[in-house]
Amino acid sequence: MKDYNVNKSEAEWKEQLGLERYKILRQKGTEFPHSGKYNMHFEEGTYVCGACGEPLFASNSKFNSHCGWPSFDEALPGKIEYVKDTSHGMIRTEIMCANCGGHLGHVFDDGPTQTGQRYCVNSLSVDFKE
């Protein structure tokens, strides 16, 4: 296992996060599309890791991708870890918080902005700070 700046036992994570967030952030789950509170949220501020509070995405990088999950075209520098994911018969790039290893979602090369990126993030894996 990788050593992150924030390390806790699975029991500590489960107690801190609750079952829904634990399933997403620690067990690499996915929330149902169009169910997350940040899917259509467009206020100014910063999206932070739902497990450790590390800033991950600026609100000006968020866009409506119509995919059912919050989408961003870039992450804050050095805040995301990228891991090849071959689960479910697909080849994707998983995105994780570089500070605690929490699962955020996946990044795809089909974004409509100049970056060409679409960071597809579970609402349960982030919080919002104005």
Whether 6 is in a domain gets the answer: no
pLDDT in tens, the chain (130 residues): 578 999 999 999 999 999 999 999 999 999 999 999 999 999 999 999 999 999 999 999 999 999 999 999 999 999 999 999 999 898 999 999 999 999 999 999 999 999 999 999 999 999 999 9
Number of domains within the chain: 1
User: Which amino acid is present at 105?
Assistant: G
Q: What is the pLDDT of residue 104?
A: 98
Q: Which domain holds residue 92?
A: 31-129
What are the DSSP calls for 20-32, one per residue?
A: HHHHHHTT---PP
- 52 among known catalytic residues: no
Q: Which of 42, 20, 39 is nearest to 30 (CA)?
A: 20
Whether 1 is in a domain gets the answer: no
Q: What is the pLDDT of residue 88?
A: 87
Catalytic residue, chosen from 49, 97, 100, 120, is 120
Q: What is the pLDDT of residue 35?
A: 95
Whether 10 is in a domain gets the answer: no
Looking up residue 54, the CATH number of its domain turns out to be 2.170.150.20
Q: What is the pLDDT of residue 1?
A: 59
